[in-house]
Amino acid sequence: MTYEYEGKTEKEAIEKAAAELGLERDQFDIEILETQKNSLFKKGYVKIRVHPVDAFDAATEGNDIIMPGSIGRVVADPLPQDEFEKKLVEFINTVIEKMGYDVKTEIVFREPQKIGIKMDSQNSSILIGRKGKNLDALQLLANIYAGRLGHEDVRIILDTENYRIRREESLVRLAYTTADKVHQTHNSILLEPMNPFERRLIHTTLNDIPDIDTKSEGDGLYKQVRVSWKGVY
């Protein structure tokens, strides 16, 4: 679900959205729909469209891209424990084998509504893909299949070569480096397209840094984050 808000400035529109929706700034993405500068006969305004992150995730019917804070949790048995886990692992193996690659999968952690699966393959770089897009696509398929098996409430997290953790650390470094450049130059920087989790990570990392503002731009699943200077020139 999306919402539209209007304010005299972009900041005022965002603050109005956050107050009315009861959300923190890092819990929603925004699109700038319309901007009108002050003139002799017209008052300036900014109109935005708000996409709550949780609402966006729900709209994907459990197929959202999820990145764990840690994938190194220890479990007693990496083998499937029930028919659901067995079918899920077989499905992942079949998909990858039909892609033409060998793979060995094992369950690395279990939580009430989350299952982490690690894939070992000599072709891990291909399974990951550019910026993790192949891995995200495989994870999406796994979540769709889990839903068809009647487990829509269970989130499936796929990883290989600890990519998820490495990617998260890389994005945090990118966020701080970008904020430093923006602080020095006062020029905004538009980052690469990212999935919802990655964008939320950038927003959260920079949320408490004075004079730095972030907002998501674009359409579709992979949007870009713009990091801007909001201090006094």
For the residues of 24-82, what is the DSSP string, one character each?
-GGGEEEEEEEEE---SSS--EEEEEEEEHHHHHHHTTT------S------S--S--S
Amino acid identity at 55: A
Supply the pLDDT for residue 41. Answer: 58
SS3 42: coil
The continuous run of DSSP H or E covering 165 comes out as helix 163-185
- Which two three-digit tokens encode residue 48? 């935005």
Supply the pLDDT for residue 40. Answer: 56
pLDDT by residue, tens only, the chain of 233 residues: 567 778 888 778 888 877 776 776 666 777 777 777 766 556 777 887 777 664 334 334 444 444 444 444 444 467 777 899 999 999 999 999 999 999 999 988 888 788 899 999 998 999 998 888 899 899 999 999 999 999 988 889 999 988 888 888 889 999 999 999 998 899 999 999 888 888 989 999 998 888 899 999 988 888 899 999 987 65
SS3 132: helix
Supply the pLDDT for residue 6. Answer: 83
- Which two three-digit tokens encode residue 95? 């998909």
Supply the pLDDT for residue 119. Answer: 93
DSSP 8-state code for residue 221? S
The single residue listed with the structure tokens 């894939």 is 119
- Which of 66, 26, 61 is CA-nearest to residue 195? 66
Residue 172 CB contacts under 8 Å (≥ 6 apart), including other chains? 201, 205
Conformational region of residue 220, where left means phi above 0, alpha means psi within -120 to 50, and beta covers everything else: left
Q: Are 120 and 132 in contact (CB under 8 A)?
A: no
Q: Cα separation of 64 and 176, whole Å?
A: 26
Supply the pLDDT for residue 60. Answer: 40
Crossing angle for the helix pair 83-98 and 133-148, to the nearest 10 degrees: 140
